[in-house]
Structure 1
Amino acid sequence: MEPRMGFIATILLASNLTNPIPPGLNPRKPAPIYDSPDLYGAEPSVIALALPAIIAKLHYLGFRPVTRVRFVGGRWKMQAVYHGKLRALEVDPDSGRIIADRPAGMRSIPN
């Protein structure tokens, strides 16, 4: 007679085969959080919208003209005029969504 594995033992075995534990990993220590400089790159990712598309979105929303544009820390940092007032914007490069909108000051966009 062959020994039979229980249902739970089969599941545990299958999960260990598909997700092996790396050697040297301490199961009592929390897993490290992935953080890499490429997440905050100096240029937009390959899935980012093109800069003209982002500027067109801002124009549609009433931000015109866009007077200064820099890519810093993984976001577009821009200055644009809205209802006659200069605004400092942070824009998500992948969606074109405005993350931050505040009055522009001397230090709003780093050089």
Structure 2
Amino acid sequence: MSFVATVLLVNALTFPIPPNLNPNTPAPIYDSPDLYGDKPSEIALDYSTIRSKLHNLGFRPITEATFAGGRWKIKALYGGKPRALEVDPDSGLIISDRPDRN
């Protein structure tokens, strides 16, 4: 371990805890209405762009598409098998791809 890394580690371990810190208070977590919105944000891709990306990847036909919880929930066929997808509205990346059990 380098000298600088050692100094940083020791400093982090010996940094004094503030006296007014309440250990029973949870740490603040970023939370925003955008994360749970019922419509895509202003910077999100159009649904038609996301649909085109999925078609190019072989997900066709798309049988259902809804926006909930800040993501596109899409049901489509891939190789004739039903899939349940979650897609990031800003990048169009597939976050989750699972067999559709419905």
Residue 100 of structure 1 and its aligned partner are, at CA, apart by 0.6
Structure 1 unpaired stretches of 5+: 1-25, 107-111
Q: CA separation of 1:27/1:52 partners in 2, compared to 1, >3 Å: closer, same or farther?
A: farther
Indicate which of 52, 59, 69 corresponds to 2:55. 59
Q: Percent identity?
A: 64
| Structure 2: gaps of 5 or more residues | 1-18
TM-score (norm 2): 0.72
Structure 2 letter corresponding to 1:79: K
What is the Cα deviation at residue 31 of structure 1?
Answer: 6.1
Superimposed CA distance per residue, residues 17-39 of structure 1 (whole angstroms, 9 cap, x where no aligned partner): xxxxxxxxx96358622313332
In the alignment, structure 1 residue 82 sits paired with structure 2 residue 78:
yes
Q: Given the alignment of the two structures, is residue 104 of structure 1 paired with residue 92 of structure 2, yes or no? A: no
Higher alpha-carbon Rg? 1
- Backbone CA RMSD of aligned residues: 1.8
- TM-score between the two structures when normalised by the length of structure 1: 0.66
